[in-house]
Chain A
């Protein structure tokens, strides 16, 4: 079974600064997807960024980028120019590519989350 580990329960960053959230995962599969979700106080789960394991290029979405190290099974999220609205819980998640098993492929395995605080 896959596991996802987020070792930083809480992080703090000053507005306009850069912060990196860590995520490691364990899998025996070679094809999979990785995600970062943001959960603000509203509780809504919002997809921030995704990475396909077969792509060597790190994904980027505006101020959000990832450092995907497949051999090390590491998937960190970098937030640049942090804004007050970035304050939230951030979850790293893993999803198998699945092949013929659509049920297995559709399941998300989440880490325990990192609470990000943004200060003035």
Chain B
């Protein structure tokens, strides 16, 4: 298993540009989520999905869109990048709550995004 993969690892955008951060998992996990990590603030939840076709907002959703057309993929779209979106982005996944081992989340390696 590759686990949770994220691309790209690094990205520089200009203000106003759009882009998609990719996330994929090969563990057949139902739950997937996106976090952003900023200095001194820990990780904060952006959006999450409990299964294909179902998404919901987290703590800091503004400026981001998500979709979940397959179990494996959960892309994060920045519609019009702003300097405030400079951050490290993590994707995570886990089994559903029907599994006895559902409580462990697996994280991808992160994407460092800089918006100038």
**A contact residues vs B (CB 8 Å cutoff):** 4, 9, 33, 42-45, 47, 50, 52, 91, 95, 98, 102-103, 105-113
Contacts and interface: CB of A to CB of B under 8 A. Distances in A.
The 6 closest A-B pairs by CB, nearest first: A45-B107, A110-B42, A110-B43, A106-B31, A112-B42, A43-B110
B31 A102 contact: yes
Question: Which of B103, B104, B107 has most A Cβ within 10 Å?
Answer: B103
Interface string B70-103: 0000000000000000001010101011000001
B94 A43 contact: no
B43 A108 contact: yes
Contacts of B94: 106
Interface size of B as a range: 20 to 34
A25 to B, nearest CB: 13
A111 B37 CA distance: 11
A112 B88 CA distance: 14
Contacts of B31: 102, 106
Given A103-B50, A110-B44, 10 more contacts: A33-B103, A44-B107, A47-B105, A95-B103, A106-B48, A106-B105, A107-B45, A107-B48, A108-B35, A112-B41
A91 B42 contact: yes
A44 B50 contact: no
Interface of B: 31, 33, 35, 40-45, 48, 50, 56, 58, 88, 90, 92, 94, 96-97, 103-105, 107, 109-110, 112
B61 to A, nearest CB: 13
A43 B97 contact: no
14 contacts: A4-B42, A44-B109, A44-B110, A45-B90, A47-B104, A98-B97, A106-B105, A107-B58, A108-B35, A108-B92, A109-B45, A110-B42, A110-B43, A113-B42
A44 B9 CA distance: 12
Contacts of A42: 109
Nearest to B55: A103
